[in-house]
Structures are given as structure tokens and as C-alpha cells.
């Protein structure tokens, strides 16, 4: 069943702050095999002009996708998550995420489309730091494949 | 932000050094833990096949993270990446054997966008087992 178009533009309340730790960044950088010292060595990060170690570009997805759970699990929207695949992902950065950040995410439904029985949902996650400054925006496109027999 | 590549030194068509990233089942387990994405299609062969996949597949976000290394290793400071987007076109299938899968990433400067902001658009190509696994894979990068 097609998703309700009236949800387009709906914004959900901001999440509780996520505190970015140096060791979590290190764990992520190691998991993607990325030895860039800006991720693990505060001195190397400072030499590049950053106040502390920074996170790899896609690190923030773990935070924004968890935040998108309020949309995905919204019973009123009724998305069938068992049929969902990740279609597109994009990030627009104002600055890199860094250790010590306390980040909140505000999720908004940007678009709902129906294409050949598939529901396509665009979610925008605005990430702000504790001072209220914009850090990065994550654009996530989810595709709920058509159920059999529809 | 301190990129080590100068805006003046690149032109549309400038190629970035290509890289290949091996992906094994162990890689996926490690990425699952680090990212918090424990979807069983990324580690449980039985489950993956039950939902119609040929085998366990890599996290799309792992492939996205690997691909941008071609840009961040080239430019030095990862903060030079001001925009990055991909489309997940085909899964990276990861067999349970000695070799696993290989993601091969190449990239080139597609356009110089803004002489003042010194930004360029880099187009990336990511292949695995002869198939394009990322589409519309583009980064905007601020150079020195």
C-alpha cells in the first residue's frame, strides 16, 4: 500500500545528544581499514587545523540512521521495514564530525514516491552540535520493495 | 582544513590514484560492530539466501566508506570533502573463502566548480566482480 503523501514535510523532534568519543572514531576507522592519522592522532589532526581527531566522512551515518528510526518505525506512516533497502546516501558537510562533539539529529521526511509498487522515502537528517551550529546533513533514500501479490 | 592538492594543479580528467579494497567475512563482522549495523544479511549466509540474495553481502555503507578513501588519501585532509553521495546499484557479494571480495575504486576530477571556493567535483567508480556497485558516486572537494 502506498505511503500517505501527507507525511511529506513532517519533522520529528531532535534526538538526545550523541557524544562522539575518540575511541569510537578509532574503532570505525580501523573497521574500514583507514589509516589516516587525522582519525586517531590528536596531534596529526591539530596539524591540519582541527581541535581534536575527526571522524571519517561516513561515520555520522550510524547516528543519523538511528535517528531516522523515528520515521521508519512511525506506526502512523506504516513503512514495512522488512522490505526496505538503502537506495541512495548523501552527506553535505559544514565541518567534519570530531571527538567531543555532542550531536543532535532532526529528521524530516523530504519526499514520498511510489514507483512500480515500490515506496520510496527520502529522509533528511540535520546534525547540529551543542552550540546549535550545523555540522552535516545526511540525505537517505530508502526503498520499500513491493509486496508479492500487489 | 588544509588540502595538499592545489586547485591550480588539477583539470577535468585528472585521475586520482586508484585503490582496491579486499572485503572478507571478518571485515563485515568488524564493520557491523563498529557501525552498529547488525543486519544478518551481512554475516549470516542462511538468512541472506532466505531473503533471495546469492550470499552474504557487504554493508553498502562499508563500500561507501572504502570508496571515499581514494579521495581522502589523495587530498590528505578528510575535511576537504564537503559533499559526498552514492547510489547503491549492486551488492558486493562476499563468499566465505580465503579471498572474499574485492572492491576496486577509481576516480577522476569531473569539473572545477568554483574558483573562489576552490572546489572540484570528483566522480568515483566502484567495481566488484566486474559489476558497478556504486552509481552516481560523486564528491565535492575543496582544494588548496
Of all residues in chain A, the one with the smallest CA distance to B69 is A34
CB contact under 8 A, A49 and B2: yes
Q: Give the CATH number for residue B67.
A: 3.10.129.10
In a domain, B104, yes or no: yes
Neighbour-count burial of A115, counting CB atoms closer than 10 A to its CB (0-12 exposed, 13-18 middle, 19+ buried): exposed
- Cα angle for residues A121, B58, A70 (degrees, 5° grid): 30
CB contact under 8 A, A48 and B73: no
- Nine-digit cell string for B57: 553481502
In a domain, B91, yes or no: yes
Compute the average pLDDT of residues B4-25: 98
- What is the percentage of chain B residues whose pLDDT exceeds 90? 96
- What is the percentage of chain A residues whose pLDDT exceeds 90? 87
- Nine-digit cell string for A119: 515506496
Sign of CA dihedral A118, A136, B124, B39: negative
Measuring CA to CA, which residue among A124, A126, A109, A145 is closest to residue A15? A126
Which residues of A fall within a CB distance of 8 Å from B65?
32, 34, 56-58
- Distance in angstroms (rounded) separating the CA atoms of residues B107 and A25: 25
Strand A84-93 and strand A134-144: the pairing is antiparallel
pLDDT of residue A1: 61
Of all residues in chain B, the one with the smallest CA distance to A143 is B88
Answer yes or no: are the C-beta atoms of B103 and B137 closer than 8 Å: no
Query: DSSP string covering chain A, please?
Result: -PPPGGGTT-BPPPPPPEEP-HHHHHHHHHHTT---GGGT-HHHHHHTT-SS-B--TTTTHHHHHHHTHHHHT-TTT---GGGEEEEEEEEEESS--BTT-EEEEEEEEEEEEEETTEEEEEEEEEEE-TTS-EEEEEEEEEEEPPPTT-
Neighbour-count burial of B139, counting CB atoms closer than 10 A to its CB (0-12 exposed, 13-18 middle, 19+ buried): buried
CB contact under 8 A, A27 and B61: no
pLDDT range class, residue A64, cuts 50, 70, 90: very high
Neighbours of A23 (CB within 10 A): 10
- Nine-digit cell string for A21: 568519543
- Nine-digit cell string for B1: 582544513
Question: Rounded to an integer, what is the distance from CA A147 to the centroid of its chain?
Answer: 26
Which residues of B fall within a CB distance of 8 Å from A38?
77-79
CB contact under 8 A, B82 and A39: no
Domain count, chain B: 1
pLDDT of residue A150: 46
How much is the mean pLDDT over chain A? 95
Domain A9-20+56-144: CATH class, spelled out: alpha beta
CB contact under 8 A, A62 and B36: yes
Pick from B73, B83, B136: which is nearest to A91 by CB?
A: B83
**For the segment A19-58, what is each residue's pLDDT rounded down to a tens digit?**
999 999 999 999 999 999 999 999 999 999 999 999 999 9
pLDDT of residue A148: 64
**For the segment A6-20, what is each residue's pLDDT rounded down to a tens digit?**
999 999 999 999 999
Q: Is the pLDDT of residue B56 over 70?
A: yes
In a domain, B84, yes or no: yes
In a domain, B86, yes or no: yes
Pick from B2, B72, B81: which is nearest to A93 by CB?
A: B81
In a domain, B51, yes or no: no
CB contact under 8 A, B65 and A56: yes
Compute the average pLDDT of residues A47-75: 97
Question: Which residues on chain B place their C-beta less than 8 Å from a C-beta of chain A?
Answer: 1-2, 21, 27, 30-31, 33-37, 60-62, 64-66, 68-69, 72-73, 76-79, 81-88, 136
CB contact under 8 A, A54 and B79: yes
What residues make up the domain containing B116?
A: 7-22+58-142
Q: Is the pLDDT of residue A3 over 70?
A: yes
β-strand partners of A108: A11, A124
Pick from B27, B61, B76: which is nearest to A58 by CB?
A: B61
Could you give the C-alpha distances from B31 to A34, A59, B35, B39, in angstroms and in order?
12, 11, 6, 11
How much is the mean pLDDT over chain B? 97
Amino acid at each position: 500500500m502506498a505511503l500517505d503523501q501527507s507525511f511529506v514535510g513532517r519533522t520529528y523532534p531532535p534526538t538526545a545528544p550523541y557524544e562522539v568519543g575518540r575511541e569510537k572514531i578509532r574503532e570505525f576507522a580501523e573497521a574500514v581499514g583507514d589509516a589516516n592519522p587525522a582519525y586517531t592522532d590528536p596531534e596529526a589532526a591539530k596539524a591540519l587545523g582541527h581541535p581534536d581527531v575527526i571522524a571519517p566522512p561516513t561515520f555520522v551515518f550510524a547516528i543519523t540512521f538511528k535517528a531516522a528510526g523515528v520515521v521508519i518505525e512511525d506506526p502512523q506512516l506504516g513503512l514495512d521495514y522488512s522490505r526496505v533497502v538503502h537506495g541512495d546516501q548523501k552527506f553535505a558537510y559544514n565541518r567534519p564530525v570530531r571527538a567531543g562533539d555532542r550531536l543532535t539529529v532532526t529528521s524530516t521526511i523530504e519526499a514520498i514516491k511510489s514507483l512500480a509498487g515500490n515506496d520510496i522515502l527520502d529522509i533528511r537528517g540535520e546534525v547540529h552540535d551543542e552550540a546549535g551550529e550545523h555540522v552535516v546533513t545526511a540525505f537517505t533514500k530508502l526503498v520499500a520493495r513491493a509486496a508479492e501479490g500487489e | 582544513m588544509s588540502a595538499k592538492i592545489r586547485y591550480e594543479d588539477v583539470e577535468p580528467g585528472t585521475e586520482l590514484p586508484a585503490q582496491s579494497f579486499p572485503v572478507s567475512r571478518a571485515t563485515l563482522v568488524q564493520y557491523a560492530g563498529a557501525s552498529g549495523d547488525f543486519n544478518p544479511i551481512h554475516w549470516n549466509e542462511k538468512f541472506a539466501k532466505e531473503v533471495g540474495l546469492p550470499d552474504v553481502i557487504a554493508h553498502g555503507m562499508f563500500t561507501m566508506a572504502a570508496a571515499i578513501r581514494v579521495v581522502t588519501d589523495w587530498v590528505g585532509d578528510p575535511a576537504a570533502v564537503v559533499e559526498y553521495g552514492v547510489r547503491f546499484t549492486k551488492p558486493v557479494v562476499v563468499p566465505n573463502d580465503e579471498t572474499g571480495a574485492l572492491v576496486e575504486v577509481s576516480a577522476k576530477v569531473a569539473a572545477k566548480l568554483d574558483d573562489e571556493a576552490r572546489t572540484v567535483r570528483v566522480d568515483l567508480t566502484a567495481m566488484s566482480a566486474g559489476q558497478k556497485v556504486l552509481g552516481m558516486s560523486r564528491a565535492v572537494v575543496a582544494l588548496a
